[in-house]
Each structure stands twice: as C-alpha cells, then as structure tokens.
A and B are shown apart, each in its own frame.
Chain A
Amino acid sequence: MTRWYHPHPLISAALVIVGPVSAEAAVYLSVGDAQQAIFPGESFERLEVELSEAQAAAVRKASGMRVRERELHLWRASGGGFFFVDRVLGKHEFITYALGVDASGRVKGVEILEYRESYGHEIRNEAWRRQFKGKDSEAPLTLDQDIRNISGATLSCRHVTDGVKRLLDTHAILFGPPA
C-alpha cells in the first residue's frame, strides 16, 4: 500500500488502493421532483396503462428493443404532455429514469432518478414497484451505499438512450405519431 502527500496545490493527498471498489449507487430525484423538473408548475394524473400483446409487439418492432414490462408508469401532465418512468438494465447498471414528452410528442426532458451498479446483486422488484403506489411516489428511492466520485472506465449511456427511443415509440403507438 502506497500513500503519499502530494506537494501539488490541487491534491491534498493520494493513496494507492487495491481490491474492489464497492458497487456504485446514486439517487437523484424522486418521481415528484422529476415531474416538476421537466414540467415546472404542472399537475399530474396517473394513467393505468398496460400494453396489450399486440401493442408490445408493435413497440418491439418499431424500436428494435425488447419490451421487458408491459405495465407502464405513466402520467399525463396538465399542459398536455406525458411523463414516463422506466428502467433499463445494462450489463451491470440498473438505471431508473424519467422521460417527459411534450404535447406535440417530442422529448421535453430526460432525468436519471436512480443509478445502481448491480453486479449480479438482487434487483428488488418489489421495492421498485412499491414507489409507484399512491403517496409513495414522493418518497425518495432506496439507497444502499455511496461512493460518489469514480473516475476511469467511462460508462456509456446507450441503454438509456435506447430506452428513450422505446418509450417514444410506445408514446406514438398509444397516442399517435408526433405532430
């Protein structure tokens, strides 16, 4: 183990470490916060929507992506837009994100709600679902541990951008193509 104090004005101390870095986890916004971040000042009505087999197949065909869950987490904003909460599972990352679609069917905003490197850890479906039930939507999401600043091996956001495309195709199939 090497440790030294670095005589550089930008570094207070440096330490060579060995062994694993714990799984990275970060919680950003609650569902309610993300709604206000994307559609400030608007109110939201939860829509109970489950894609039919045919609709799921149509989304799969349009987006080229698998539809893991047919039950949607979807709200209608008072200004005519729609707000989705979805999650994507990359190789190791489990990412919950929100997508706002404006009244003309275009992306209004994307916010990451929670990021978790799973590395095979159990994905707690029940906890994830519970936060969408009634008042719980304002509650902060669960957080296990916290190593906030990791550098090196930049993570790709491709799974999220793929997910956004799948939700836009879902939106078009449910509510018609963009104006």
Chain B
Amino acid sequence: MRSSSAPLPETSPAPAGGTRGAGREVARARPLLGTFVEIRAAGGPRDRLLEAIDQAFEAVARVHRLMNAHDGSSELRRLEHAPLDEPIAVDPWTWAVLAEARRLFEASGGLFDPAAAVPVSGRAQGSAGSLDDLVLEPDHRVRLGRRLRLDLSGIAKGFAVDRAVEVLAARGLDDVVVNAGGDLRLGCARGETIFVRHPTDSGRGALRLELAPGAALASSSPVFHRRDRPRRRLHLVDPRGRRAVDHGQGATVIASRCDLADALTKVVLLDPLAGARLAAAEGAAAFLLDPSGSVRLLEPAPMKAVP
C-alpha cells in the first residue's frame, strides 16, 4: 500500500522531463496505431537508450501491422475472409490479444466485445456476431463460427504498450514510460504524474494521478469535443443494443497491464457497476468522469449477505 505517501502540493506544476536519475532521458515518438506513440527511457548511455527504444518501437509496429482494423492487409482483416469452422493459424501476438479479449468478453458477461463492430455514424456496422463465435485453439490457432468484423482497437494499443515495456525491461531498462496516445505504462523503476483530460472538453483537465512504478493507465471517452470546434467522435458500441455509446462520460482505469486497463475502460463506460466489479476482480482501479467535471472512484457494490 502506498497510501502513506507525501501529500501533493495542489498548485505545483507537473515535473518537467529532461534529466532523470544518473543520465539524461531520451524521448522519441513515432506515428503508430493511429496516434503518437512516445517512448521515454533513462538510466543508461544515450546510444544504448536510443537502440533499445528502436527495438521497443519495432514491437509496437508489429502490433500495428498485425492488428490494424483499417488496413486490409493486416492479419486481423484477413481473418474476416478466412474459412469458417476450421482452425486457422495466426501470429502468436494476435492469438494472445484474441485470447485476452475472449477472457474479458466472458468475464464481463459480453460487455467487452471487439466483434460488436465499428460505429461509423452512430449505428453499429457489420456482422451481428459476437466474440462467442471465436474459439481459441492450441498452437496459436483460432476457429471462427461465423463471419466477424473484429476491431481490437480497444485492447491492442494497450497490448502494444505492454510489449514495448517488456522489450525495454529485457534490456535492463526499467526507468521508462511508453505512452500510446494516453494509454501508457511505466517501467518498474519509475512513478509519474498523469493528467487526464475532461471527457468532453480536451482543453480542460479532470484528474491528476500519481502512478506507482510499474502501473498502467488507459482512458476512454466515447464523445469528445474540442474546446473551440465541437466535434463528436463515437467509437464504442454497446453490444446489448448494438448502438454507439454517446453519453459524455469518460473512464480511466489503472491496472498492472495496459491491455487490461485499455479493455476495462470500455466495460466501465458501458456499465459502471459491472466495470467496477471486474476492475476489482482484476486488481485494477476505475474512475468515471462526468461531463460536469465530477470524478468518481468506482467501488464495487458490497455483496449482499446470503441468508
């Protein structure tokens, strides 16, 4: 427990990057996964840090190539045309993401469903299937029970962040941050201050968190407005009614892995109580941000005593 940490001064600015620990920090960013992926590392000679960050980006790029829902040549999109009811070999990383997605699909009672299809104009598009129609088989093979339009964007970005942190850790680098457009994870030797934007006004802040070393955080808001040019952006489908979610709430989840944090934000947005229960079961903490600016830490409801 870290509840005894020193109090936060309420007016202090965020810590600036630059120098950390023994040496200077190296920061790089590349356009990947539809956003900017930033990797920062300290604690080694500059050349070594640059090379390790290169390798970490390669892991992110691999996830991008395999699981990009918008690129017809990605393995994920090719699965749409694969034969039904027979085992199909996929990349071990694709298999790992699908397996975790399937586990969370079941644990959330179907709320987390990357097969609920992609919203284009507020109405769900594509198949009426669910992840129930995807069976994980041994040796990195999957079996499709029906045609599915899979969108792993609610979990693959977090998975990519986790793989990048692993690559850096394998090279002895733990004073690191990998941040894919706000879905991020810290190396096990670094704590950081994180600002979470207001769910519908990206010019405002809503929450400031001091993350413990090794923590992962993801945020999600289905509707978002720029301060001076309001624009609705919908990206979450409720599998129960197959409608895009358009309430103005935001969810932020802190977990031990970024894929888990990423996926849990979707469950929290769809059903805060179910999301709180699942987050607690997974050792995660979930915050719900309201358009009014209020922030709630979600606690699972107490269990009723069984007579």
Contact = CB atoms under 8 A, between A and B. Distances in A.
Interface of A: 1-21, 26-29, 33, 37, 91-92, 97, 110-112, 115, 119, 145-158, 160-161, 164
B3 A5 contact: yes
A6 to B, nearest CB: 7
A152 B2 contact: no
B27 A110 contact: no
B179 interface: yes
Report the 6 A-B pairs with minimum CB-CB distance, sorted nearest first.
A152-B197, A157-B31, A151-B182, A112-B29, A154-B181, A12-B210
Contact of B3 (A7, A97, A158): A7
Given A20-B204, A37-B28, A151 B211 contact: no
B179 A149 contact: yes
Given A1-B10, A9-B2, A26 B205 contact: no
B207 interface: yes
Secondary structure at the B interface, as helix, strand, loop or mixed, is strand
Interface string B168-212: 000000000101011110000001111111110011111111111
Given A155-B36, A156-B34, 10 more contacts: A13-B8, A14-B209, A14-B210, A15-B10, A15-B209, A18-B204, A112-B30, A149-B179, A151-B197, A154-B35
25 contacts: A5-B3, A6-B285, A6-B297, A11-B209, A11-B211, A11-B254, A16-B208, A17-B208, A18-B205, A18-B293, A20-B203, A26-B27, A37-B50, A92-B226, A112-B30, A145-B16, A146-B17, A147-B195, A148-B177, A150-B195, A151-B194, A152-B199, A156-B35, A157-B34, A157-B35
A16 B290 CA distance: 12
Given A3-B8, A20-B203, A115-B36, A149 B195 contact: yes
Nearest to B194: A149
Contacts of B31: 97, 110, 112, 157, 160-161, 164
B3 A17 contact: no
B207 to A, nearest CB: 6
B306 interface: no
A150 B197 contact: yes
Contact of A21 (B2, B38, B195, B250): B195
Contact of B54 (A37, A155, A161): A37
A152 B198 contact: yes
A155 B204 contact: no
| Range, interface on chain B | 35 or more
A112 to B, nearest CB: 4
Given A9-B212, A10-B211, A115-B36, A149 B285 contact: no
B3 A6 contact: yes
Contacts of A28: 27-29, 38
A153 B27 contact: no
A62 to B, nearest CB: 21
A20 B38 CA distance: 23
Given A10-B255, A26-B27, A151 B184 contact: yes
A14 B197 contact: no
B211 A152 contact: no
Contact of A157 (B36, B211, B255): B36
A167 to B, nearest CB: 13
A119 B229 CA distance: 11
Interface in B210-245: 210-212, 214-221, 224, 226, 229
B254 A8 contact: yes
A111 B206 CA distance: 30
A157 B181 CA distance: 9
Contacts of B294: 16
Contact of B28 (A21, A29, A91): A29
B285 A10 contact: yes
Nearest to B256: A10
Nearest to A160: B31
A9 to B, nearest CB: 6
Contacts of B182: 150-154
A1 B9 CA distance: 13
Contacts of A33: 50
B132 to A, nearest CB: 28
A29 B57 CA distance: 15
Contacts of A160: 31, 36
B195 A146 contact: no
Contacts of A21: 195, 197, 203-205
B22 interface: no
A2 B54 CA distance: 40
